[in-house]
């Protein structure tokens, strides 16, 4: 897989391929957080929800991959995307409560990126279809992960931990998005 050249590509197809490679990367790295959670939360209800959630995220990654193929490209390796930057700044937590908080923050960010994209004009019908498909699962993802995070924090005797962790990751998310926003705006403006 070729690494993404972070100079703004020349053609609109190339710009789309780069942007969807960013989206695909975020979906795959989100899946990776869920794998970690599967290993760390044993309760059967969470195992069921995590399995369905993971199936959704890997499908989202496939939908972007498919869209990239339709545009005549192949996915670009994103070495310095949203989640890689989050990881560099915050580290990847080991504690399940922190992992759940990080998952909520990255899911909310993904949803916001897709919603902002949908508001733009001149989007092809196929891209719109993918944006709608990947956005529609986010509601239940965010709800259940938030609920489980609060529940585990309470059970561990530190009920504030989940909210504190959310706040910490939100701050990291803001820093990272400030770095990435300009680049995304250029790509979306294509």
Q: How far is the CB of 1 from Fe ion (least distance, A)?
A: 20
Q: Which residues pair with 3 in a beta bridge?
A: 77
Query: For residues 120 and 136, which CB has a smaller minimum distance to Fe ion in the complex?
Result: 136
- Scanning 4-12, 90-98, 120-128, 139-147 for contacts with Fe ion by CB under 5 A, the matching segment is 139-147
Asked if residues 99 and 43 have their Cβ atoms less than 8 Å apart, the reply is no
Query: For residues 67 and 141, which CB has a smaller minimum distance to Fe ion in the complex?
Result: 141
Query: For residues 49 and 71, which CB has a smaller minimum distance to Fe ion in the complex?
Result: 49
- Scanning 15-23, 119-127, 132-140, 165-173 for contacts with Fe ion by CB under 5 A, the matching segment is 132-140
Residues in 147-186 at the binding interface with Fe ion, rule: CB under 5 A: none
Site for Fe ion (CB under 5 A): which residue of 107, 114, 131, 146? 107
Query: For residues 61 and 152, which CB has a smaller minimum distance to Fe ion in the complex?
Result: 61
- Find, among 185, 178, 67, the residue nearest to 133 by Cα: 67
- Scanning 76-84, 106-114, 146-154, 182-190 for contacts with Fe ion by CB under 5 A, the matching segment is 106-114
- Find, among 104, 96, 107, 93, the residue nearest to 167 by Cα: 104
Q: How many residues bind Fe ion (CB under 5 A)?
A: 6
Q: How far apart are CA 126 and CA 164, in angstroms?
A: 40
Query: For residues 136 and 185, which CB has a smaller minimum distance to Fe ion in the complex?
Result: 136
Query: For residues 98 and 138, which CB has a smaller minimum distance to Fe ion in the complex?
Result: 138
Q: How far is the CB of 147 from Fe ion (least distance, A)?
A: 15
- Find, among 36, 59, 67, the residue nearest to 136 by Cα: 59
**Interface with Fe ion, residue 29, by CB under 5 A:** no
**Interface with Fe ion, residue 60, by CB under 5 A:** yes
Residue numbers of the site for Fe ion (CB under 5 A)? 27, 57, 60, 107, 138, 141
């Amino acid at each position: 897989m070729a690494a993404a050249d972070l100079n703004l590509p020349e053609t609109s197809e190339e710009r789309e391929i780069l942007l969807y490679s960013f989206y695909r990367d975020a979906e795959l790295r989100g899946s990776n957080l869920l794998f970690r959670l599967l290993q760390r939360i044993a309760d059967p209800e969470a195992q069921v929800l995590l399995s369905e959630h993971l199936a959704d995220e890997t499908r989202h990654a496939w939908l972007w991959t498919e869209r990239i193929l339709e545009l005549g490209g192949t996915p670009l390796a994103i070495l310095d995307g949203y989640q890689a930057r989050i990881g560099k700044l915050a580290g990847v937590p080991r504690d399940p409560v922190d992992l759940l908080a990080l998952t909520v923050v990255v899911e909310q960010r993904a949803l916001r990126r897709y919603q902002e994209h949908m508001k733009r004009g001149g989007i092809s019908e196929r891209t719109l279809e993918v944006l709608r498909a990947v956005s529609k699962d986010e509601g239940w993802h965010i709800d259940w992960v938030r609920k489980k995070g609060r529940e585990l924090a309470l059970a561990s005797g530190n009920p504030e931990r989940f909210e504190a962790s959310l706040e910490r990751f939100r701050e990291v998310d803001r820093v990272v998005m400030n770095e990435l926003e300009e680049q995304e705006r250029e790509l979306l403006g294509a």
